[in-house]
Amino acid sequence: MTEPGTPRVAVYLDFDNIVISRYDQIHGRSSFQKDKAAGFHKQPGRLTQATVDVGAIIDFASSFGTLVLTKAYADWSADVNADYRGQLVGRAVDLVQLFPAAAYAKNGADIRLAVDAVEDMFRLPDLTHVVIVAGDSDYIALAQRCKRLGRYVVGIGITGSISRSLTAACDEFVTYDALPGISAVAPATPKKAVKRTKAKEKDDDDETADPEGAATGLLQRAMRIGHEKDDADWLHNSAVKAQMKRMDPSFSEKSLGFKSFSDFLRSRSDVVELDESSTTRMVRLRSTD
């Protein structure tokens, strides 16, 4: 029995999305569709290299509270998805069958997932968290609706296929590679650059050219906001991190290679001063005088 007051979490996985996105992350943009057309059986090792660790995703989702329902949407008749059915069923995931449309290989997962999520929120009013495992902009409206209905929205996506707008629409966004237990893999570089429309480039702009510089800029903005809001010289480092996450839900010191937020702050000693004289760590912007 769930303890009263325990957060209750619903998880929705656009499974086709994450399988395809992971494959393209490892082997290069549009590799999934090309290899699918040629036949995966001709290069079976490439599928293995791009295997998605479903357990890592579900375990991370469970860190927010009790999982009351978990649904995965895909065409389960496709071999590439069917291979995951055992471990998904073993983790009590409901498999929602989708049938692919002929045009553009679009399967309507976004519509079915969104309808189910909204229905579940009204059917289960005690849901506190909604975890959306997908990265494209189709889910922006869903994330915004969940927040308006008072739910804490967590997004999980594959690097290379994450919409910046979706990231901003969530309360928290985590890349798959940053999940505990996932080893970062260097993605393959495509032999030929694939032409992309300006709209697609904007939609898929999930990373800045300089993530370290972007993190430093984010820290500086969060510090200035904190100093002005609290009119205090020193700020709690936890409050600073919380502000950074509100400004950019995708921020994660671990994705930058730091074990803790304090380690991240220490690496920015030219920007901030960290007071570790007590158990409560305090931080302030370094004077430019």
Residue range 124-144, pLDDT digits in tens:
999 999 999 998 899 999 999
β-pairing, 66-74 with 8-14? parallel
Shared domain check, 232 and 139? no
Shared domain check, 164 and 259? no
86: domain CATH number? Answer: 3.40.50.1010
The rounded mean pLDDT for the chain is 86
In which band, very low, low, confident or very high, does the pLDDT at 272 lie, cut at 50, 70 and 90? Answer: very high
Evaluate if residue 206 carries a pLDDT over 50: no
Q: CB of 286 within 8 A of CB of 270?
A: yes
Evaluate if residue 191 carries a pLDDT over 60: no
Phi first, then psi: give them for residue 96, nearest 5 degrees: -100, 120
In degrees, to the nearest 5, what angle opens at C-alpha 24 toward C-alphas 111 and 16? 30
Of residues 207 and 45, more confidently modeled: 45
For the segment 88-100, the average pLDDT, to the nearest whole number, is: 90
Number of domains in the chain: 2
DSSP letters for 261-284: HHHHHHTTTTTEEEE-SSSS-EEE
For the segment 66-94, the average pLDDT, to the nearest whole number, is: 93
* CA dihedral angle for residue 207, residue 149, residue 73, residue 99, rounded to 10 degrees: -110
Q: Is 165 inside a domain boundary? A: yes
Evaluate if residue 95 carries a pLDDT over 50: yes
269: domain CATH number? Answer: 3.30.420.610
Most confident segment among 84-98, 197-211, 222-236: 84-98
Of residues 161 and 12, more confidently modeled: 12
pTM value is: 0.76
In which band, very low, low, confident or very high, does the pLDDT at 106 lie, cut at 50, 70 and 90? Answer: low
pLDDT at 287: 80
Measured in whole angstroms, the distance separating CA 31 from the mean position of its chain's CA atoms is: 22
Q: Is 184 inside a domain boundary? A: yes
Of residues 232 and 270, more confidently modeled: 270
Shared domain check, 162 and 22? yes
Of residues 193 and 12, more confidently modeled: 12
Q: Which domain holds residue 165?
A: 8-203
Percent share of the chain, pLDDT over 70? 86
Alpha helices in 41-196 (DSSP H): 44-49, 54-62, 79-82, 85-90, 109-123, 140-148, 164-169
Of residues 271 and 181, more confidently modeled: 271
pLDDT at 195: 45
Evaluate if residue 37 carries a pLDDT over 60: yes
